[in-house]
């Protein structure tokens, strides 16, 4: 018999951990290859994690609602086979041979299993602290003899002041008097660089009156709230607005959409047209397509446009159109429709929501004229599309000005003023507007 470590796979370049939401299998259950074993959730999407092997589930190393780091072993699967059978233990195809032929490798795995079981099964008592610590941080604290009081004194650099793996390892390296018994006295030996525990500001108390209904936030709702609050506190948001005359575009779509659907089997909405315009503007102003990283910026090679989509439960999700600048309008329409349909059916995969470099949200879907969207971190800008309305407008002609009915909309551009100045933010949105206003009414598709 061989034992396979089922680890939490990489969920995307910016995702370091996930919450285990459901065990789909229990100890003793038989598992087929590619069969889902458990479900996880990030701040963007829910996903099932399948098994890479066939076997029997023998160990469950985390409980529901535990936070698991990418690469951590979540479950142990016993694989049956003849002597010499090899089993991949991770994404790099590291192989573990049958115990008869590869005793050292199997022994190492058994030892790691024992350590994982010990650290998960016998955690410190964190019931007296108001702070949240991931299982990885708790395990390091236990192994290094760091008490809860000492851990509370560490200043975290993660989201919402969370203590990260790097924070606790730096503390372990610099601490002058490590404790072996986990006593409160260890906190007194903390180095001077560790600030005392800060008192978190308390929100004003909210009282539910008689007849009020208290509706708990969903898990995704909580994550979205945290993500939005974090973005506001991270980026210096500033907005630019511009009104766009899209009369030619509207007329062109009206005369083209039926033939397009008949030929391609796809609806031609305004969204792929707007995405094409945004991709054009990003190529013209590539410094919008960046991320801010401390003292430097990262210029993204690919143009991956996030498309905010509403879910049936009222939440939002942002699937990503990869390499949007390389798609023609037909290809863009197909990708947009596919991502929108799978968003509504909760069928997106983790990779579908990763790697975005710029985001577009359509507030006009709900009749809003314009909005001030919050930047989707770690990006530096986001564009809101307002509703298209017929309005009276001054039309300039060689014979003079007159009033006519035109189809118009507002574009609202939020950007991070730390790295995007007003000139760049304004020129970018003007480029999008110019592209749309210059739409060729005779364009073939």
What residues act catalytically?
Answer: 417
Three-state SS letters, 59-97: EECCCCCCEEECCCEEEEEEECCCCCCEEECCCCCCEEE
The answer to whether 153 touches 185, Cβ cutoff 8 Å, is no
Hunting for tokens 């919450």 — which residue is that?
A: 19
- What is the C-alpha to C-alpha distance for residues 102 and 85, in angstroms, rounded to an integer? 10
For the chain, the three-class secondary structure string (H helix, E strand, C coil) is CEEEEEECCCCCCCCCEEEEEEECCCCCCEECCCCEEEEEECCCCEEEEECCCCEEEEEECCCCCCEEECCCEEEEEEECCCCCCEEECCCCCCEEECCCCCHHHHHHHHHHHHHHHHHHHCCCCCCCCCCCCCHHHHHHHHHCCCCHHHHHCCCCCCHHHCCCHHHHHHHHHHCCCCCCCCCCHHHHCCCCCCCCCCCCCCCCCCCCCCCCCCCCCCHHHHHHHHHHHHHHHHCCEEEEEEEEECHHHHHHHHHHHHHHHHHHCCCCCCHHHHHHHHHHHHHHCHHHCEEEECCEEEECCCCCEEECEECCCCCEECCEECCHHHCCHHHHHHHHHHHHHHHHCCCCCHHHHCCCCEEEEEHHHHCCCCCCCCCCCCCCEEEEECCCEEEEEEEEECCEEEEEEEEEEEEEEEEECCCCCHHHHHHHHHHHHHHHHCCCCCCCC
Sorted by sequence, the CB contacts under 8 Å of residue 178 that are 6+ apart come out as 144, 145, 146, 172, 186, 189
Q: Which two tokens stand for residue 437?
A: 């206003």
Burial of 105 (0-12, 13-18, 19+ CB in 10 A): middle
Q: Tokens 């929100």, residue?
A: 203
């Amino acid at each position: 018999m061989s034992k396979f470590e089922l680890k939490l796979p990489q969920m995307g370049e910016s995702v370091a951990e996930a919450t285990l939401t459901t065990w789909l299998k229990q100890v003793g259950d038989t598992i087929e290859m590619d069969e889902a074993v458990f479900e996880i959730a990030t701040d963007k999407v829910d996903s099932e994690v399948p098994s890479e092997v066939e076997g029997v589930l023998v160990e469950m190393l985390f409980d529901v609602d535990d936070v698991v780091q990418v690469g951590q072993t979540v479950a142990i699967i016993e694989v049956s086979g003849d002597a010499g059978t090899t089993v991949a233990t991770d994404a790099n195809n590291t192989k573990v041979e049958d115990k008869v032929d590869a005793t050292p490798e199997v022994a190492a795995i058994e030892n790691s299993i024992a350590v994982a079981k010990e650290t998960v099964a016998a955690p410190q008592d964190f019931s007296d602290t108001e702070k949240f610590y991931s299982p990885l941080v708790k395990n390091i604290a236990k192994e290094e003899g760091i008490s809860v009081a000492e851990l509370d004194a560490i200043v975290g650099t993660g989201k919402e002041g969370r203590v990260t793996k790097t924070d606790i390892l730096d503390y372990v390296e610099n601490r002058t008097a490590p404790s072996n018994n986990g006593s409160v006295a260890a906190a007194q030996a903390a180095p001077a660089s560790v600030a005392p525990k800060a008192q978190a500001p308390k929100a004003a108390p909210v009282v539910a009156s008689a007849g009020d209904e208290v509706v708990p936030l969903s898990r995704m709702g909580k994550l979205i709230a945290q993500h939005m609050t974090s973005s506001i506190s991270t980026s210096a948001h500033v907005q630019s607005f511009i009104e766009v005359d899209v009369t030619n575009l509207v007329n062109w779509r009206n005369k083209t959409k039926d033939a397009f659907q008949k030929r391609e089997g796809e609806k031609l909405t305004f969204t792929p047209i707007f995405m094409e315009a945004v991709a054009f503007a990003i190529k013209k102003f590539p410094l919008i397509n960046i991320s801010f990283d401390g003292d430097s910026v990262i210029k993204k090679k690919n143009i991956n446009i996030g498309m905010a989509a509403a879910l049936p439960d009222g939440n939002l999700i942002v699937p990503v159109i990869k390499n949007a600048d390389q798609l023609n309008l037909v290809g863009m329409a197909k990708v947009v429709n596919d991502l929108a349909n799978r968003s509504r059916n909760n069928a997106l995969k983790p990779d579908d929501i990763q790697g975005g470099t710029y985001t577009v949200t359509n507030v006009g879907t709900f009749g809003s004229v314009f909005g001030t969207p919050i930047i989707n971190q770690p990006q530096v800008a986001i564009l809101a599309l307002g509703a298209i309305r017929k309005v009276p407008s001054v039309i300039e002609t060689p014979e003079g000005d007159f009033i006519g009915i035109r189809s118009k909309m507002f574009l609202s551009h939020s950007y991070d003023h730390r790295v995007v100045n007003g000139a760049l933010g304004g020129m970018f949105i003007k480029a999008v507007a110019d592209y749309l206003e210059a739409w060729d009414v005779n364009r073939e598709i």
